[in-house]
């Protein structure tokens, strides 16, 4: 334990390898990182475990990929670059509306960006607890038209003893269940297919096992 180590290192010795391996939940990760920031000894230990993970990865044998991988990557790089040159003023009205919705207490932080005609459409939303829910559920969702349409979710503070259901609300008001997921210690991440085009999704919500919406975000 170093002089500036306020908490005993022993309590973290099993957690450091898991942090290096990326296998801690959001809250556990935050706790261990706080300790590491104030403890040079544990920071050094963490660095060593990270190097160990790099060494472990070398046992995975190289494999020839399908032909044309390089061309497809370059194609996506080009598409991304053309999207980056899209007019930047597009997001302003979206953020203004989002601010109004935040004021309504729904809990929203969102933008949608169309990355040019060649690039994927991406929507990002921040999930917050809805009014009346005691637990502080938070999360981040990314919708992308890439890979045939994907939804990537990261959720924290959810129920620990029952699953949650992810639901998207479409522009016409219809709701589509994306899937039901178990969280670990209230934390979970998942990526799954999107049942509609990104531009057709208006909201993403999380329901508890009783069908009650516990967190949501609007996509505009």
Question: Which residues of this protein are in contact with other proteins, per CB under 8 A?
Answer: 13-18, 20-25, 48-49, 51-66, 69-74, 76-78, 80-81, 147, 152, 179-182, 184-185, 188-192
Taking the complex as a whole, the smallest distance from the CB of residue 6 to other proteins amounts, in Å, to: 22
Q: Between 6 and 81, name the residue whose CB sits nearer to other proteins.
A: 81
Taking the complex as a whole, the smallest distance from the CB of residue 210 to other proteins amounts, in Å, to: 19
Taking the complex as a whole, the smallest distance from the CB of residue 101 to other proteins amounts, in Å, to: 29
Taking the complex as a whole, the smallest distance from the CB of residue 79 to other proteins amounts, in Å, to: 10
Query: For the packed helices 40-57 and 26-37, what is the interaxial angle rounded to 10 degrees?
Result: 120
Residues pairing with 154 in the sheet: 140, 189
Do residues 117 and 105 touch, judged by C-beta distance below 8 A?
Answer: no
Q: Between 183 and 220, name the residue whose CB sits nearer to other proteins.
A: 183
Q: CA–CA separation, 196 vs 108, rounded Å? A: 21
Q: Between 18 and 102, name the residue whose CB sits nearer to other proteins.
A: 18
Q: Between 77 and 104, name the residue whose CB sits nearer to other proteins.
A: 77
Q: Between 24 and 108, name the residue whose CB sits nearer to other proteins.
A: 24
Q: Between 48 and 162, name the residue whose CB sits nearer to other proteins.
A: 48
Taking the complex as a whole, the smallest distance from the CB of residue 212 to other proteins amounts, in Å, to: 20
Cα distances (angstroms) measured from residue 22 to each of 33, 48, 155, 184, 200: 12, 14, 16, 14, 34
Pairing mode of beta strands 138-144, 175-181: unpaired
Measured between its terminal Cα atoms, the distance across the chain in Å is: 50
Taking the complex as a whole, the smallest distance from the CB of residue 195 to other proteins amounts, in Å, to: 15
Residues pairing with 89 in the sheet: none
Quote the strand ranges of the chain, DSSP E: 110-114, 121-129, 138-144, 150-156, 164-170, 175-181, 188-193, 201-207, 213-218
Q: CA–CA separation, 97 vs 95, rounded Å? A: 5
């Amino acid at each position: 334990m170093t002089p500036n180590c306020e908490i005993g290192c022993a309590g973290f010795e099993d957690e450091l390898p898991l942090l290096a391996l990326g296998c801690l939940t959001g809250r556990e990760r935050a706790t261990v990182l706080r300790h590491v920031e104030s403890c040079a000894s544990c920071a050094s230990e963490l660095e060593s475990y990270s190097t160990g993970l790099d060494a472990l990865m070398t046992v995975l044998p190289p494999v020839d990929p399908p032909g044309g991988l390089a061309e497809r990557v370059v194609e996506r790089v080009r598409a991304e670059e053309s999207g980056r040159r899209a007019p930047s003023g597009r997001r302003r009205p979206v953020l203004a509306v989002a601010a109004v919705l935040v004021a309504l207490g729904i809990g929203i932080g969102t933008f949608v960006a169309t990355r040019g005609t060649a690039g994927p459409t991406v929507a990002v939303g921040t999930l917050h607890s809805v009014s009346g829910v005691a637990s502080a559920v938070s999360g981040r969702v990314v919708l992308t038209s890439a890979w045939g349409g994907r939804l990537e979710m990261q959720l924290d503070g959810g129920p620990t003893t029952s699953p949650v259901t992810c639901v998207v609300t479409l522009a016409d008001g219809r709701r589509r269940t994306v899937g039901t997921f178990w969280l670990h210690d209230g934390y979970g991440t998942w990526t799954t297919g999107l049942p509609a085009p990104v531009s057709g999704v208006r909201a993403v919500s999380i329901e508890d096992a009783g069908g009650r919406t516990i967190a949501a975000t609007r996509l505009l």
